[in-house]
Amino acid sequence: MSASVGVRPGVVMRVVPEVIGWTWIESLSDEELIEVEQRTHAKFALIERREKKALGAKYELCRGSAELMSAWDRWGRLSTATRERSLRPRRITASDSEK
Protein backbone atom coordinates (compact mmCIF):
# COMPACT_ATOMS: atom_id res chain seq x y z
CA MET A 1 0.00 0.00 0.00
CA SER A 2 1.42 3.39 -0.97
CA ALA A 3 1.79 6.25 1.50
CA SER A 4 0.60 8.73 -1.10
CA VAL A 5 -2.60 9.38 -2.99
CA GLY A 6 -2.92 10.63 -6.56
CA VAL A 7 -4.76 13.96 -6.69
CA ARG A 8 -4.49 14.62 -10.41
CA PRO A 9 -2.08 13.34 -13.07
CA GLY A 10 1.50 14.11 -12.10
CA VAL A 11 0.59 15.31 -8.58
CA VAL A 12 0.98 13.09 -5.54
CA MET A 13 -0.32 14.08 -2.11
CA ARG A 14 1.14 12.37 0.97
CA VAL A 15 -1.32 10.84 3.40
CA VAL A 16 -0.73 12.43 6.80
CA PRO A 17 -0.80 9.93 9.69
CA GLU A 18 -3.08 10.50 12.67
CA VAL A 19 -0.04 11.00 14.91
CA ILE A 20 2.77 13.00 13.32
CA GLY A 21 6.15 11.83 14.60
CA TRP A 22 9.72 12.80 13.80
CA THR A 23 10.41 9.47 12.06
CA TRP A 24 7.60 10.15 9.58
CA ILE A 25 8.66 13.79 9.12
CA GLU A 26 12.23 12.71 8.39
CA SER A 27 10.93 10.39 5.65
CA LEU A 28 9.53 13.37 3.72
CA SER A 29 11.38 15.12 0.94
CA ASP A 30 11.63 18.92 1.19
CA GLU A 31 8.83 19.32 -1.35
CA GLU A 32 6.58 16.86 0.48
CA LEU A 33 7.26 18.54 3.82
CA ILE A 34 6.35 21.96 2.42
CA GLU A 35 3.14 20.59 0.87
CA VAL A 36 2.06 18.75 4.04
CA GLU A 37 2.93 21.77 6.22
CA GLN A 38 0.80 24.01 3.99
CA ARG A 39 -2.17 21.62 4.21
CA THR A 40 -1.98 21.27 7.99
CA HIS A 41 -1.59 25.04 8.39
CA ALA A 42 -4.68 25.61 6.24
CA LYS A 43 -6.67 23.17 8.38
CA PHE A 44 -5.46 24.78 11.62
CA ALA A 45 -6.26 28.27 10.28
CA LEU A 46 -9.78 27.18 9.29
CA ILE A 47 -10.51 25.73 12.74
CA GLU A 48 -8.99 28.78 14.43
CA ARG A 49 -11.12 31.20 12.37
CA ARG A 50 -14.23 29.19 13.24
CA GLU A 51 -13.44 29.33 16.96
CA LYS A 52 -12.53 33.03 16.86
CA LYS A 53 -15.84 33.77 15.17
CA ALA A 54 -17.77 31.73 17.74
CA LEU A 55 -15.96 33.09 20.83
CA GLY A 56 -15.05 36.62 19.77
CA ALA A 57 -13.01 38.47 22.40
CA LYS A 58 -13.09 35.39 24.67
CA TYR A 59 -10.96 33.39 22.20
CA GLU A 60 -7.65 32.07 23.59
CA LEU A 61 -5.62 29.57 21.58
CA CYS A 62 -4.40 27.59 24.58
CA ARG A 63 -7.94 27.30 25.93
CA GLY A 64 -9.38 26.15 22.62
CA SER A 65 -11.16 22.93 21.78
CA ALA A 66 -9.38 19.60 21.55
CA GLU A 67 -9.78 19.81 17.76
CA LEU A 68 -8.05 23.20 17.68
CA MET A 69 -5.22 22.10 19.94
CA SER A 70 -4.67 18.94 17.90
CA ALA A 71 -4.56 20.92 14.63
CA TRP A 72 -2.14 23.40 16.23
CA ASP A 73 0.11 20.57 17.48
CA ARG A 74 0.14 18.80 14.10
CA TRP A 75 0.94 21.99 12.20
CA GLY A 76 3.50 23.08 14.81
CA ARG A 77 5.52 19.88 14.43
CA LEU A 78 5.65 20.32 10.66
CA SER A 79 6.36 24.04 10.91
CA THR A 80 9.31 23.34 13.20
CA ALA A 81 10.64 20.76 10.74
CA THR A 82 10.43 23.22 7.82
CA ARG A 83 12.39 25.80 9.81
CA GLU A 84 15.00 23.19 10.78
CA ARG A 85 15.49 22.47 7.08
CA SER A 86 15.58 26.22 6.29
CA LEU A 87 12.47 25.89 4.12
CA ARG A 88 9.87 28.61 3.71
CA PRO A 89 6.34 27.44 2.89
CA ARG A 90 4.30 29.85 0.81
CA ARG A 91 1.08 30.96 2.46
CA ILE A 92 -1.99 31.36 0.29
CA THR A 93 -3.53 34.76 0.93
CA ALA A 94 -6.98 36.10 0.11
CA SER A 95 -5.53 38.05 -2.82
CA ASP A 96 -3.96 34.84 -4.20
CA SER A 97 -7.28 33.02 -4.10
CA GLU A 98 -8.97 35.81 -6.08
CA LYS A 99 -6.64 35.33 -9.06
77-92: pLDDT as tens digits: 999 999 999 999 877 6
Q: What is the pTM of this model?
A: 0.78
Q: Phi and psi for 8 in degrees, rounded to 5? A: -150, 165
C-alpha span between 90 and 28 (Å, rounded): 18
50-76: pLDDT as tens digits: 999 999 999 999 999 999 999 999 999
Task: Say which residues have a Cβ less than 8 Å from residue 95's Cβ, sequence separation at least 6.
Answer: none
pLDDT score for 98: 47
